[in-house]
Amino acid sequence: MKKKFSNSWKSSKQVRKQRKFRYNSPLHIKHKFLSAHLSKELIKKYKMRNIPVRKGDTVKVLRGQFKNHTGKVQKVLLRKSKVHIEGVEMIKKDGAKTYYPVHASNLMINILELNDKERQKILQRNIK
C-alpha cells in the first residue's frame, strides 16, 4: 500500500492498513464513514439501515458517558470523523462548556433533516 490514498486498494486484515486507509481517504469517502443507524421506525419507512449523519439530524447516543442523551447534530467534522451534538458537552476546569466529539457509529438517528434535495433522492430511491 502506498503512502497516499489508493482507489485500487481493496482490503487488508492488518489493522494498521485499515487505519491508514481511513486516515488518508479523501473527504467524499470519509463522509460515508460517518454513517449512523436509523431508528426502527425510519428503517421501516425508508427500507434502509443506515445513512450518513448531517447537521440538523436528531440523534441518540448509544455508547459512552453520554449514553441515552438525545440532541440535534450541531457540527460534522469530516477530517476527524466526529460529530458534535447539542446537549453532549464537557465542562472544562475554567467552567467553559465545549462539545464532546462522538463517532457516528455510536449514534442512532431518530429524526432526519430532509431539507437537502440529494438526501431526499437517496431516500425516495429506496422507498420504491
pLDDT by residue (tens digit) across 86-118?
999 999 999 999 999 999 999 999 999 999 888
The pLDDT of residue 4 is above 90: no
The pLDDT-based confidence of 6 (bands split at 50, 70, 90) is confident
| Predicted model pTM | 0.87
- Euclidean distance between CA atoms 21 and 4, whole angstroms: 9
pLDDT by residue (tens digit) across 46-75?
999 999 999 999 999 999 999 999 999 999
Structural domains of the chain, ranges and CATH numbers in brackets: 36-127 (2.30.30.30)
The pLDDT of residue 41 is above 90: yes
Query: Going by C-beta distance under 8 Å and a sequence separation of 6 or more, which residues neighbour residue 85?
Result: 59, 61, 66, 69, 71, 72, 73, 74, 99, 100, 102, 107
H-type alpha helices, 1-128: 15-24, 27-33, 40-46, 117-127
